[in-house]
Amino acid sequence: MRPADQQLALSIVIPLYNEAENLDALADRVFGTIKRFELDAEILFVDDGSTDGSEKIFRRLCDIHPRLRVIRLRRNFGQTAAMAAGFDHARGAVIVVLDGDLQNDPDDIPLLLNRLDEGYDVVSGWRRDRMDHWSRVLPSRFANWLIGRATGVRLHDYGCSLKAYRAEVIQNIPLYGDLHRFIPALASMYGAKITELPVRHHERARGTSKYTLARTFRVIMDLIIVSFLKSYAQRPMHAFGWAGVIMLLVGFGIDAYLAFQKLAFGAQLANRPLLLLGAVLMLAGLQIASLGILAELQIRTYHESQNKPIYNVREILGGGERTLG
């Protein structure tokens, strides 16, 4: 058996949450791909706190497949945290991620690897013929356009989980919140070379989708964060500073005008709402320029400088090891 610290060519990371109905077919398909294409690969199932009895299936699959490891998290931390756990435990020089609902096709993995060999650092799948209901497809297309415009990284399908990354790129990108869908944009901040490739997409045969409309609001909020980090992470004053300075100058101009009226013409200012507006604008400008920067720096320090993980592992199964968290 390969030593735990020896690097493989490929790690396939699959985040899972309540996909018990799909696990056997998923393992058969992924290991079938590995065998057909003779890939030097390991499989990492990341169980994001499933409550559907998946644990028994995981243990059985680990007994059958020596190349399978299962990272079981203590509770449902979310897809971003599950991906981060997979990246942290992966031993491959290349890491491929795909969904566990059988809608991604593992046979597309060699195609992604071939594009990486052309000199790319990230290859993103594009579900050109997407087999989902229009109520999911249309909002997704708008979101992809909006993300591309905001980040400058134009991709047709940010939401496709099937992506290939060079390990030295993805393992240096801090992930938290729901930032997994923005990984290509985050990678571009580190100078990664990014491309996309059309991949197959199948209808969901079993299980239920974890997609909810509430994700749309979270995507918009995360997009604001990613756009800020991409443009102003090293110079936050260029973002908050301009807004604060403009409000400060407008407020100062208003109060200077009123002061001139008072001194030159003896105008009464006690009943002038404009005086209060000017004072509020100046105070708000100072607060935006200071509190906004401090808040952003604090959240980045919390997640990065302290190296605090966004998940907690219960145990690791398979791969010749069993580790309790």
Residue 135 has pLDDT above 80, yes or no: no
Query: Would the pLDDT of 1 be above 60?
Result: no
Q: Which residue has the higher pLDDT, 246 or 297?
A: 246
82: confidence class by pLDDT, cuts 50, 70, 90: very high
Once rounded to an integer, what is the mean pLDDT over residues 101-119? 94
Higher per-residue pLDDT: 37 or 269: 37
| Residue 181 pLDDT greater than 90, yes or no | no
3-class secondary-structure state, position 34: helix
Confidence of residue 302 (pLDDT cuts 50, 70, 90): low
Q: pLDDT grade, residue 242 (50/70/90)?
A: confident
Distance CA 17, CA 206 (A): 13
Q: Which of the two residues, 240 and 287, has the higher pLDDT score?
A: 287
How far is the C-alpha of 142 from the C-alpha of 137, rounded, in Å? 9
Q: Which of 147-156, 205-214, 225-234 has the highest mean pLDDT?
A: 147-156
Q: Are 243 and 290 in contact (CB under 8 A)?
A: no
64: pLDDT strictly greater than 50: yes
Q: What pLDDT score does 31 carry?
A: 96
- 211 close to 136: Cβ distance less than 8 angstroms: yes
* Most confident segment among 44-58, 125-139, 216-230, 242-256: 44-58
| Residue, of 164 and 210, whose pLDDT is higher | 164
State how far the Cα of 218 lies from the Cα of 238, in Å rounded to an integer.
Answer: 25
For residue 70, the model assigns a pLDDT of 95
And the tokens for 162?
């099937």
- Name the 3-class secondary structure at 16: strand
Overall pTM > 0.75:
no
Q: Strand locations in 48-142, DSSP E? A: 68-73, 92-97, 122-126
- Mean per-residue pLDDT of the chain: 83
Higher pLDDT, 306 or 290: 290
Q: What is the mean pLDDT of residues 186-194?
A: 86
Q: What is the pLDDT of residue 55?
A: 92
pLDDT at 84: 92
Backbone angles phi, psi at 208, to 5 degrees: -125, 150
Instruction: Round to whole Å and give the CA distance between 206 and 21.
Output: 6
pLDDT of residue 54: 92
Tens-place pLDDT, residues 259-287 = 888 888 888 877 788 888 888 899 888 88
Distance CA(185)–CA(124), nearest Å, equals 11
pLDDT band at 5 (very low <50, low <70, confident <90, very high): low
